[in-house]
Amino acid sequence: MKYKNAFNFKEKVILITGGGGDIGKEFARAFTECEGKTIVADISLEKAQEVSSEMNSYGGASLPVQVDVSNIKSIKFMVKKIIEKFGKIDILLNHAGINIRKPAVEFVDVDWEKVINVNLKGEFFVAQEVGKYMIKEKRGKIINTASVSAVRGHPNLAIYAASKGGIVQFTKVLANEWAKFNINVNAIGPGYLLTKQTRPLLDDKEKYNSILNKIPMRRLGTPADIAGAALFLASDLSDYITGQTIFIEGGRLID
């Protein structure tokens, strides 16, 4: 093990779904700085192009791709396109996701379908399609995105929590089935982060202070906190870690 080269991803091809968001963009920046080739995939081609263009302006090698992860045909087309262009996918950052906040009694079946189809169905079938290729190559790193909500009963997040709990569990199953192919499957579980998605919620000063008081480190997370864990799980340093969910939440789960 050459420790000083652990975070050099030169010649590695990294697929980032949900790459147009704040965290996806930080993933792209982190791996670009470490010389990886990034594929920024998002349902919004415009957002994917913006992130990819920024990575290329840094001297990186990045390609934007449009994908609807709730549509299996779209997933298959995306993976096929990447394999045709790059010949491989070394690392998957399986990050596309959405959220709807409501009291449990107010959810309707359309809400369920939207969240589950993107978060749970989408992550599973992206992992499956990329996994098929990795099984042939007998190597690969898959990093799914779960959440602290997978293990905590936060109000107004019933469907989101269900989707993220499912991700934690199928991560374990894929890790078990694919370990013999030298494929590591893990997940990251962010807590509250400062992003565009959470800004409206955190603008409520009372809610903001309530959240901070439950975090031992007394600060919210940032996309960089999440990207650091992703770099570790994608590196050779994590070769003996699989089936795990690393919660990145400033100690919120300690108590």
The full set of domains in the chain, from first to last, is 9-248 (3.40.50.720)
Which tokens go with 131?
């996994």
Tell me the average pLDDT across 36-50. Answer: 98
| Catalytic (active-site) positions | 160
Predicted confidence band at 176 (pLDDT cuts at 50, 70, 90)? very high
Which tokens go with 106?
């107010």
Q: Which pLDDT belongs to residue 93?
A: 98
The mean predicted confidence, pLDDT, of the chain is 95
Structure confidence by residue, pLDDT tens digits, 109-168:
999 999 999 999 999 999 999 999 999 999 999 999 999 999 999 999 999 999 999 999
Structure confidence by residue, pLDDT tens digits, 46-101:
999 999 999 999 899 999 999 999 999 999 999 999 999 999 999 999 999 999 99
Going by C-alpha positions, the residue among 73, 16, 3, 72 that lies closest to residue 188 is 16
Which tokens go with 223?
């996309």
Tell me the average pLDDT across 10-23. Answer: 97
Helix axes 45-57, 22-33, angle to 10 degrees: 30
Residue 201: is its pLDDT beyond 80?
no
Which tokens go with 164?
């993220």
Tell me the average pLDDT across 218-225. Answer: 93
Q: What strands lie across the sheet with 61-66, from one edge to the other?
A: 61-66, 37-42, 13-17, 91-94, 140-145, 183-190, 245-248
Predicted confidence band at 4 (pLDDT cuts at 50, 70, 90)? confident
**pTM check: above 0.85:** yes
Q: Which pLDDT belongs to residue 245?
A: 98
The rounded distance, in Å, linking the Cα atoms of 3 and 197 is: 36
For the chain, give the percent of residues with pLDDT over 90: 87
